[in-house]
């Protein structure tokens, strides 16, 4: 079997964060090679290395046995590497044939377009991917899976021998999935190598020949998949191989995070009952957080955790269900109302929502407490400065001073500024959304200590995190979200494997995992 692509000991760092730590990976002709890993395990970085978007710091890339010294996106294209993203990148106002033509054709003399040839190429390519799509239809009128097929047709037309598919089924219905599987199998039969990324284990067992699992930027193993030809994705119940895979993904080491969990939560601070929001795909969420308690929220990206936080902070209205705060029913219509109720939200996207990068950190830290520290709307620079200086020393923010511009700080310190802004409001409920994402190790453990201290002081904390060891190590209780609702609760310090299985929708081991089969 010939080797299409070979990566050897590839490393890639972004500042202090090492995204890939010596990953080796190979793809053979005519195979589907699945790439699996938790959020942040390094899958995206690896894909970007393969498509030439990122240059590796170290390591070798060979395509069809030839060493490629520097792989750029253009070079990748010439070598027949194509990537099908979750969201197809087509021109919505052009027709299918035009979209395919723009990607593939060289223009004739004087930039003339050969319409007849263009249409014929499009028809032929669409037939090859088994799509019944009118080449003259505008792309805007196509469904998402049809657009994906057009993307695949483009890849084929460009002579791609290596096709990367990044969660191609994330927005597809079951029948659409089946159709796509058919196309993938057809490509495989033609000798194309496919790198297939998905969180859905059943797809991997239905399609893949081999699986490589990434964890923390390292490849923890490549395994052959049994029953690769088995075409029964509805198989319920885990097989031994599924268990093995989950084991590989979460690793064996027990999550060790310094601060020990506190034990006794106090009175209920937040109580959410049957909360739903159809526009964001949330339904039937019931959750309680006690004073002094850290409730961790695990789940995959897109499971609805940030959306829940948005509702609780008044950024999006819920359309059903009740929220109670300290025993009183509340409606939260805007972030302002949330702040007034004592709810604070440290958002996931720190650079866009957490900190105003262009403004001094003192301004950022007082932004949620204008009324309190600037009564009568007049700015009081002394009061502001002293508050900022206290927060800087309390949280150990590394900055030149209160006048330092937010954007000049490192990620971890920006996160502390974002946290400081909300601690200044003296919240009763603190919602943290990925508080340590993109933060270096030192700042991460400092943030963990701060979170634990706040809980010990009686704050109710909802900790949303895709970092499973973080959730396991920090939380007194763990809620797992999947498909827009909470599917399971686990006690703090639960087995990583069990929690991961619940997040992936596999009913393994203990836990009160509710069955759910919601299409996305």
Partner 1 sequence: MNLPPKTRMLLRHETVLLAVLVAEFLFFGVAGRNFGTPDNLANIVRHSVEIGLLALVMMPVVLAGGIDLSVGSTLGLCAVLFGKLWRDGGLHWEVAAVATLGIGATAGGVNALLITTLRLPPLIVTLGTYSLFRGLAEAITHGTDAFTRFPPTFLFLGTGRIAGIPAQAWIFVSVAVAMWLLVHRTTFGRSWRAIGFAPEGARYAGLPVGRRLAFAHVLAGTVAALAAITYTARFGTAKADAGTGYELAAITAVVLGGTSIFGGIGSVHGTLLGVAAIAVLGNGLSRVPATMSNAGELSGLLTGVLLVLALAGGAVPKWFVDRRSRKDPAPVLP
* Site for partner 1, rule CB under 8 A: 14-15, 53-55, 72, 315, 335-336, 338-339, 345, 347, 352-360, 363-364, 367-368, 370, 374, 377-379, 400-401, 403-405, 407-408, 411, 421, 425
Strands 32-37 and 193-197: parallel
User: How many of the other CB atoms lie within 10 Å of CB of 95?
Assistant: 20
* Residue 162, token pair as written in the block: 């290596």
Residue 289 Cβ vs partner 1, minimum distance, rounded to whole Å: 20
Look at the alpha carbons of 304, 310, 316, 321 in this order and tell me if their dihedral is positive or negative: positive
* Residue 427, token pair as written in the block: 């919240």
Which helix H or strand E contains 240, and what residues bound it? helix 240-250
Residue 163 Cβ vs partner 1, minimum distance, rounded to whole Å: 23
User: How many of the other CB atoms lie within 10 Å of CB of 356?
Assistant: 18
Q: Which is nearer to partner 1, 300 or 355 (CB)?
A: 355
DSSP code for 79: T
Q: Which is nearer to partner 1, 147 or 418 (CB)?
A: 418
d(Cα 65, Cα 47) in Å, to the nearest integer? 19
Q: Which is nearer to partner 1, 336 or 390 (CB)?
A: 336
Residue 366 Cβ vs partner 1, minimum distance, rounded to whole Å: 9
What DSSP assignment string belongs to 172-183?
--HHHHHHHHHH
User: How many of the other CB atoms lie within 10 Å of CB of 293?
Assistant: 26
Residue 518 Cβ vs partner 1, minimum distance, rounded to whole Å: 29
Q: Which is nearer to partner 1, 146 or 433 (CB)?
A: 433
Q: Which is nearer to partner 1, 161 or 310 (CB)?
A: 310
Residue 171 Cβ vs partner 1, minimum distance, rounded to whole Å: 24
Q: Which is nearer to partner 1, 404 or 478 (CB)?
A: 404
Q: Which residues contact 381 (CB under 8 A, 6 or more apart)?
A: none
* Residue 274, token pair as written in the block: 């049957």
Q: Which is nearer to partner 1, 55 or 278 (CB)?
A: 55
Residue 336 Cβ vs partner 1, minimum distance, rounded to whole Å: 5
Which helix H or strand E contains 201, and what residues bound it? helix 201-207
Residue 241 Cβ vs partner 1, minimum distance, rounded to whole Å: 36
- Map residue 153 onto helix, strand or coil: helix
């Amino acid at each position: 079997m010939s080797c299409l692509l070979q990566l050897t000991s590839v490393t890639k760092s972004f500042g202090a964060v090492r995204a890939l730590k010596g990953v080796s990976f190979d793809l053979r002709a005519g195979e589907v090679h699945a790439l699996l890993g938790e959020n942040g395990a390094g899958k995206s970085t690896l894909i970007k290395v393969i498509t030439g978007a990122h240059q590796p710091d170290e390591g070798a890339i060979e395509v069809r046995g030839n060493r490629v010294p520097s792989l750029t996106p253009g070079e990748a294209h010439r070598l027949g590497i194509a990537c099908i993203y979750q969201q197809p990148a087509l021109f919505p106002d052009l027709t299918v044939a035009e979209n395919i033509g723009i990607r593939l054709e060289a223009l004739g003399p004087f930039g003339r377009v050969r319409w007849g040839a263009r249409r014929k190429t499009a028809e032929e390519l669409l037939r090859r991917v088994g799509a019944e799509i009118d080449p003259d239809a505008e792309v805007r009128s196509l469904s998402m899976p049809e657009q994906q097929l057009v993307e695949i047709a483009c890849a084929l037309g460009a002579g791609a021998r290596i096709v990367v598919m990044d969660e191609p089924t994330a927005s597809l219905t079951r029948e659409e999935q089946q159709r796509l599987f058919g196309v993938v199998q057809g490509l495989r039969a033609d000798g194309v190598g496919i790198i297939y990324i998905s969180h859905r284990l059943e797809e991997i067992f239905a399609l893949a020949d081999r699986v490589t699992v990434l964890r923390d930027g390292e490849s923890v193993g490549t395994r052959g998949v049994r029953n690769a030809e088995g075409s029964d994705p509805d198989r319920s119940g885990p097989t031994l191989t599924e268990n093995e895979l989950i084991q590989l993904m979460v690793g064996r080491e027990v999550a060790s995070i310094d601060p020990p969990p506190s034990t006794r939560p106090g009175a209920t601070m937040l109580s959410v009952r049957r909360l739903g929001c159809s526009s964001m795909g949330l339904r039937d969420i019931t959750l309680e957080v006690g004073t002094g308690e850290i409730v961790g929220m695990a789940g995959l990206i897109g499971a609805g955790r940030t959306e829940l936080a948005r509702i609780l902070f008044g950024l999006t209205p819920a359309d059903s269900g009740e929220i109670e705060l300290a025993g009183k029913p509340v409606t939260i219509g805007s972030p302002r109302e949330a702040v007034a109720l004592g709810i604070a939200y440290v958002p996931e996207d720190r650079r866009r929502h957490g900190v105003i990068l262009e403004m001094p950190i003192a301004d950022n830290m007082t932004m949620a407490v204008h009324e309190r520290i600037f009564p009568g709307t007049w700015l009081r620079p002394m009061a502001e400065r002293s508050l900022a200086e206290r927060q800087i020393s309390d949280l150990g923010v590394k900055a030149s001073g209160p006048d330092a511009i937010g954007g000049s700080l490192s990620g971890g310190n920006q996160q502390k500024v974002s946290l400081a802004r909300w601690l200044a409001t003296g919240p009763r409920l603190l919602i943290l959304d990925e508080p340590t994402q993109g933060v270096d190790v030192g700042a991460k453990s400092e943030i963990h200590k701060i979170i634990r201290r706040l809980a010990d002081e009686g704050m109710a904390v909802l900790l949303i995190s895709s970092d499973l060891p973080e959730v396991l190590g920090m939380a007194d209780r763990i809620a797992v979200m999947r498909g827009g609702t909470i599917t399971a609760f686990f006690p703090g310090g639960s087995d990583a494997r069990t929690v991961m299985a619940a997040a992936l929708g596999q009913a393994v081991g203990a836990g009160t995992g509710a069955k759910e089969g919601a299409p996305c």
